Amino acid sequence: MNTLTNEKRKQIIGMLIEGMSLRAASRLADVSFNTVTKLLVDIGHAAADYQDRTLRNLKCKRIQCDEIWAFVYAKEKNVPSDKKGHFGFGDVWTWTAIDADTKLVPSFLIGNRDARSARMFIEDLASRLASRVQLTTDGLKVYLEAVEGAFGCDIDYAMLVKTYESSQEETRYSPAVCTSCERKPVTGHPDPAHISTSYVERQNLTMRMGMRRFTRLTNAFSKKVENHAYQVALHFMHYNFCRIHRTLRVTPAMEAGVSDHVWSIEEIAALLPEPTFGPRGPYKKKDSRPTSSQPSVDNQRNAE
């Protein structure tokens, strides 16, 4: 059975990290579309699993959280009636948390913008922290119950509530103008000087620039939510471990003490398990007789 060489894996993974589409990567790497898709699934799963195991007991002090919109399969208004209400069709939100000091992204989640996703996201974030932190979120109300359930009183939590010019936070081509920001302490004693979501909002821009699936007003959106999640996992694997932050001069993982060196694309590719091949099953001869749903050419001609 044919397998990709390590050099070819590195080439394709590098293309996906830089935001190239699956079909463009398959053309430039001269491999089939299915091969690129399978590699994305495998490396995305491996990247998510590695970060889940490694990003634990983090000594963060200031965390900012936000959620970024995208859509899968079709925009919400264009989703067929038989698929409406099913996750993975229409609006999909990526919940992200960033350490304001190390710029590490310790937790992310693909879900809806509802209380259930907020609870899952905040509980996962809380399980990765070693000590009390100051947390800042936007004014989304579902954070209140989620933070209380995950942290209790052992947190300094505040909301940054923004007021916009129009009733909608976003118009078609650009965000509405922010007219005011109100800092609302919720739990503990958050430092007013650090009640901010600037870093996590800048991280949202990094995602839109680095992943073609998040680009607005294109047909490059994800068609399957599973592939969407695998691409996000690969993006954050590269962001945390490979990409040198211009301000820190090291990677976020190095600044957080999680890694001692800058990772290469080869090391990400090495997360993939070695392929195993079992014995081939017995050969089954294909039945060439036409079925009722697939009439033969002669029958079609006779019918004409």
pLDDT at 100: 95
pLDDT at 152: 92
pLDDT at 175: 67
Q: Which residues of the chain have pLDDT under 50?
A: 1, 169, 290-304
pLDDT at 172: 58
Tokens of 112: 């809806």
pLDDT in tens, 14-33: 999 988 888 889 999 999 99
pTM of the entire structure?
Answer: 0.84
Contact 110, 234 (CB under 8 A): no
Contacts of 223 (CB under 8 A, 6+ apart): 72, 73
pLDDT at 3: 81
